Amino acid sequence: MTQTPATPTPMSATPTDLQDERLLRPTGFGGTVGASIRRVRGGDLGSLPVVVGLVVIWAVFEVLNSAFLTPGNLSDLLVQSAATGVISVGIVLVLLLGQIDLSVGSVAGLASAILGVLLVQYHWPEWLIIPAVVLAGVVIGLVYGFLFVRFGVPSFVITLAGLLSVLGLQLFVLGPLGTINLGFTSFITEFSLLLFVPPWLTYVLAAIAAVGYGATAYLSASKRRNAGLSAPSLAWTLIKAAILLVFMVVGSAYLNTSVTGGIGDSFVLLVVLVVIMNYALTRTKWGRSVFAVGGNVEAARRAGIRVNRVYVSVFVLCSAFAAMGGLLLAGNLGSASPSTGTTDTNLNAIAAAVIGGTSLFGGRGSAYSALLGIVVIQSISNGLGLLSLDSSVRYMVTGVVLLLAVIVDSLSRRSRTAHGRA
């Protein structure tokens, strides 16, 4: 397409992408802010509802019990979030495809059982156990992917069967031993429960994150400008990077004042996994095809995407994340037992993804929803625990919050249709 005579040479200095006269041109600082507001009005809520929800939840619990927002408690809360949060990252992926995995709890339980047996009975070194357990998750994901692609069985049926079979496998692996204590000298236990990032390192990490964010935003903006496209104003980029920095430094400083806690290694692992998955989803060809398949499978197929590979890769990743979460779960409890992963792990992981803003309808969501969602759920659980309310209330409240999240999802979908963003 090189032979068109009268291409660009744009009229005046208007960026190529803003030349249509019907566009409300978001130029400069005010324009960038205005565009964000319009986006939210149009039903493109992103993570706004969950952030608002989190603030409300924290405020309510702090009023009810002033121990809630103490550094020690928040530090615990983040450590408790890590295991289910990691599982939830995998759930986000399957939800993006418009599928579901109901067996992540069982897979996590199986992972903990394998860990217990290999560590305590066979005395494998832990550096070998970790990849072995993740590999078990990969194999389960491959089986799901194969069944889904080959026979076209709905994923909720496959994984419901998986829930039972894998639970059976978990009990089989544990065998007559029942509960296996890992002992607190195990690295996995220490990592998921006892290790915290040294304070100085938290600030270094915060600075790296903020500078990294600012630099990538700045570079991509200048690249856009050079290509004659519009770009967010420099001021706005700087402000966002500064807000990020202040938020992280203040947060770290506050958590670091806790005597026994701080920022847990396991929580940092969760954040790192979320950031990596966010990159994979938004900046790679694979991620683009995940969204495409979730939005319209047939269109994706006709665009030449190898749809089956996308499905298999996502089921594999989901089960692998579930296995990793299972390791953290066992580490948190210091043991592998027949009940590890059984109770509410499954539903919490799924609820976290949905509460965090990933649509159940497929094709819409973000890796960050796993992080935000699990913090919400863990806050509720932790807060109600402080009020010494038992699990009956906790289940009911979590259920209501999940319902609210799904309603927000459905409503914003409707609003998107009305505003033409379906």
- Applying CB under 8 A, which of residues 121, 179, 220, 339 lies at the interface with another protein? 220
Pseudo-torsion of CA 34, 38, 39, 40, nearest 10°? Answer: 110
299 binds another protein, rule: CB under 8 A: yes
As beta bridge partners, residue 196 has 264
Task: Compute the least distance from the CB of residue 17 to another protein, in Å.
Answer: 6
276 binds another protein (CB under 8 A): no
Separation of alpha carbons 69 and 79, rounded Å: 15
The DSSP element (H or E) to which 255 belongs, if any, is helix 234-256
Single-letter code of the amino acid located at 193:
L
Is there binding between residue 9 and another protein (CB under 8 A)?
A: no
Q: Which is nearer to another protein, 179 or 220 (CB)?
A: 220
Instruction: Determine the Cα–Cα distance for residues 121 and 178; give it in Å rounded to an integer.
Output: 13
Nearer to another protein, 124 or 291 (CB): 291
Site string for another protein, 330-369 (x = CB under 8 A): ---------------------------------xx-----
Stretch that binds another protein, among 14-22, 116-124, 206-214, 378-386 (CB under 8 A): 14-22
Of 388, 291, 374, give the one whose Cα is nearest residue 82.
374
Binding pattern for the stretch 381-400 against another protein, x by CB under 8 A and - elsewhere: --------------------
* Interaction between residue 97 and another protein (CB under 8 A): no
What does the block give as tokens for 396?
């009911």
Residue among 33, 142, 288, 395 that touches another protein (CB under 8 A):
288
SS (H, E, C) 13-67: CCCHHHCCCCCCCCCHHHHHHHHHHHHHHCCCCCCHHHHHHHHHHHHHHHHHCCC
**What distances in angstroms separate CA 409 from CA 44, 47, 291, 318, 416, one per listed residue?**
10, 11, 17, 22, 10
From 295, 334, 338, 385, residue interacting with another protein (rule: CB under 8 A): 295
Residue 187 interacts with another protein (CB under 8 A): yes or no: no
Residue (176 or 304) nearer to another protein, CB: 304
Residue closer to another protein by CB (options 281, 316) is 281
Q: How far apart are CA 288 and CA 169, in angstroms?
A: 35
* Residue numbers at the binding site for another protein (CB under 8 A): 1, 3-4, 7-8, 16-17, 20, 22-23, 220, 223-224, 227-229, 283-286, 288-289, 291-292, 294-296, 298-306, 363-364, 416-417, 419-422
